[in-house]
Amino acid sequence: QVQVVESGGGLVQAGGSLRLSCTASGLTFDAYTMGWFRQAPGKEREGVSCISWRGSSTRYSDSVAGRFTISRDNAKNTLYLQMNNLKPEDTAMYFCAAAQRGFCPGSWSENEYRYWGQGTQVTVSS
């Protein structure tokens, strides 16, 4: 059974940093491209970042590029999202997802991702 579990969320002031983690089990982690998505209250879920199965390729949404860094440790079956210079508009539930492909999809379509975690809440105060 595949399990995807996010952690590391919390409350932080604007300008602060957080690092999210996502651990996946029950799948061959290094055979999956991994992504981070987020959903703010009253808004649709949106793609934030993606990393290829070996970590050689990454992708970011315009809203987080230059502030967030995605990485992975395949030996630990773990995905990370380092979030710096956080803004109140980054407040959302953050989700980790796994896509059975080698490289990031050309779109942020959720349909590309097969397995999802339950999310971890990030709240940025002004």
Q: Which residues of the chain have pLDDT under 70?
A: none
56 Ramachandran zone, left/alpha/beta (phi>0; psi -120 to 50): alpha
Residue 75: what pLDDT?
97
Is the Cα torsion angle 83, 86, 87, 93 positive or negative in sign? positive
Residue 106: what pLDDT?
86
- Across 69-94, b (16+ Cβ under 10 Å) vs e yields bbebebeebbbbbebeebeeebbbbb
Residue 52: what pLDDT?
97
pLDDT tens per residue across span 102-111: 899 988 999 9
Q: 3-state secondary structure string, 31-56?
A: HCEEEEEEECCCCCCEEEEEECCCCC
